[in-house]
Every structure is written in C-alpha cells, then in structure tokens.
Amino acid sequence: MEREYLDDLEAREEASTPAIVEAIRCGLVFCVKELVGVVEMKLREHVIANHALVKLTAHASIRVIDAVAPPRFLHYNFVSAVLNDLFGIQTRGGCMCAPGSLRFSFNYFMPIDEIETVLRVVTWVADHGWRLLPYNRVDPFSGSWSMRCAPTVMRDLSRKSFRGLTAAELLIAPTHGALPVASEPAESDAKALRVTQRLADRVGVVFRVHGAVIHAELRDGFQAHGAAVEAARWFMHLADAASMLRHADVPKPSRAPGALMLSIADCMRGSLLARQQP
C-alpha cells in the first residue's frame, strides 16, 4: 500500500528532515530586506560604490578594468591570500570562479570606518604587497598561493552562539543614501597593518637567508617547463621581487640587527609582534 504524508511535491521529494531552520533563515533575510527597504539599500550602495571608485581609480598601481597595465601584476590569488591571512579581509580570486581579477564588494550596512579600512589596505597592498611575496609560495599548476609556515588554529564557529536580535536592533534608521557615521578605526585593524608593514620592511633579511630557495622555486616551477611557459608568466614571482628589492629604497629597520634574524615561520607565528611592540 502506498501512502502520501505530504501533499506538497517539493516537500515530499526533499531528502531527510525538511529544511525548517533554512526556511526560517531565508524568511529572516527577507524580513531584514523589508525593514531596510530596497530604495534605501540602493542609495547606500551607490554612495559606497562611488566613494570606493574615487579612491581606487586615483591610485596609480590599481587597475579598475581599463587602467594601463604595469609590467607585471601581483597575482590575484596572492593578493586575496594576503588580504585574508594578514588583514582578515575576505575576497574572491576571479569573477564567478573565472581567473584574472580580484573581486570584493561593500554591503549597504557597512560603516564608513570599515569601508575606509578595506580601501586603505587594498591601496597598501598595491604599493607594498610585492614585499610580502617571500612569505608565500605559489603552486605553478593551480595558481594558488599559501603562506610558507603552518597556519594558526582557526576559530571554530561552533564555539560561538547567537543571542538573537531585539526588535529595536532590527530597526535600521534610514540614512537617505548617506554613509553611516564613522567611528575611530579599530585597534585590531591598525595593529594588523603595523605588523604587516614590519614584515614588508624586513623582507631584505628573508631574501638574504632564503634567496637560493626562492630562485630554485622559480627555476623548478616555471622555467623548467620551457621558455614559452616562463614568457607567458604575467605575474610577479618571488625572484622578481628580489630583483626589485636590489634597486629599491627599502626602509631601514629601526631595531637592532640581531632582533631581525627571524625565520619566516617565526615571523608568521607572531613572535615578531611579541618581540617588537610599538
């Protein structure tokens, strides 16, 4: 005997337990949308987009679709890895999973200080990101970049709890398209930029200690596959950064030289910050 416990075809064909929690989440998303209003969201997004484009298009080292290309780009996956690993800013390498660009967006509810932090970090990476190349390695087959040392233990989201929102917290005051009021930059963001700047300033030590390994990686990873493969490489490699460093005016570290002889893994594990507090 056949029985049908559900009349709705979609619910009946759904495997296992019905997605009750997911349906509630989806409903909350539309609830927030109705509370804010489509018009208000559109106004805020236009203001934020214009604000970001003014900053980014004015920077000589950032290409927004139609700028003149420099001799070699920073690999978009490298920039994405730096933003994530050192600044906690998550971006997407490529557009809709296609390669060639770095993609990030601003939500309509982001405060101006967070927007400015992202823009400040992106422009900083455009200027100084090449100095961080030796702290990373690239897979010549996948194009993925990763830090040389073991990553720190990531926080598990299962240890967090959501207390919910009150009715007052759900109500968002209309701003009529104006950017949210700015607050003082978060100390953690400023601290991340200071630590990253120190790593960039001390890259000369890394090149002196690990220079042979860096050039071997270029030789074995790209040049070993022939001149055509190396000629087609459009992005900067660690060896390119070493060449630039020899002709660049690198800031001199302000501490004693003995305190700078740290391994890459040592720096990445945070001992550089612990030993050289501001």
pLDDT at residue 16 greater than cutoff 50:
yes
On the CB side of 233, CA atoms within 13 Å amount to 24
Q: Which two tokens stand for residue 268?
A: 């990445």
Comparing 130-144, 184-198, 259-273, the range with the smallest average pLDDT is 259-273
Helices (H), 66-182: 76-87, 112-128, 167-170
Q: In this predicted structure, what is the pLDDT of residue 177?
A: 58
- 183 or 63: which leads in pLDDT: 63
Torsion of CA 53, 126, 266, 241, to 10 degrees: 160
- 138 or 151: which leads in pLDDT: 138
**Greatest mean pLDDT range, 79-83, 90-94, 152-156:** 79-83
Please give the share of the chain, as a percent, with pLDDT higher than 70.
67
> For all residues of the chain together, what is the average pLDDT?
72
pLDDT at residue 17 greater than cutoff 80:
no
Tell me the pLDDT band of 219, cut-offs 50, 70 and 90: confident
Q: In this predicted structure, what is the pLDDT of residue 188?
A: 79
pLDDT at residue 73 greater than cutoff 50:
yes
Tell me the pLDDT band of 99, cut-offs 50, 70 and 90: low
Query: Do 121 and 89 form a contact (C-beta atoms < 8 A)?
Result: yes
pLDDT at residue 100 greater than cutoff 60:
yes
Average pLDDT over residues 5-32: 79
- 269 or 106: which leads in pLDDT: 106
Q: In this predicted structure, what is the pLDDT of residue 242?
A: 75
- 239 or 261: which leads in pLDDT: 239
Q: In this predicted structure, what is the pLDDT of residue 234?
A: 78
Q: In this predicted structure, what is the pLDDT of residue 181?
A: 54
Q: In this predicted structure, what is the pLDDT of residue 226?
A: 73
- 154 or 80: which leads in pLDDT: 80
Q: In this predicted structure, what is the pLDDT of residue 266?
A: 36
Average pLDDT over residues 45-70: 74
Q: Residue 38: phi, psi to the nearest 5?
A: -65, -40
Of 207, 224, 191, residue with least CA distance to 130: 207
Find residue 235's DSSP bridge partners: 73
pLDDT at residue 249 greater than cutoff 60:
no
Is pTM beyond 0.75 here? Answer: no
Of 46, 87, 267, 53, residue with least CA distance to 185: 87
191/218 Cα distance (integer angstroms) = 33
**Greatest mean pLDDT range, 41-45, 77-81, 239-243:** 77-81
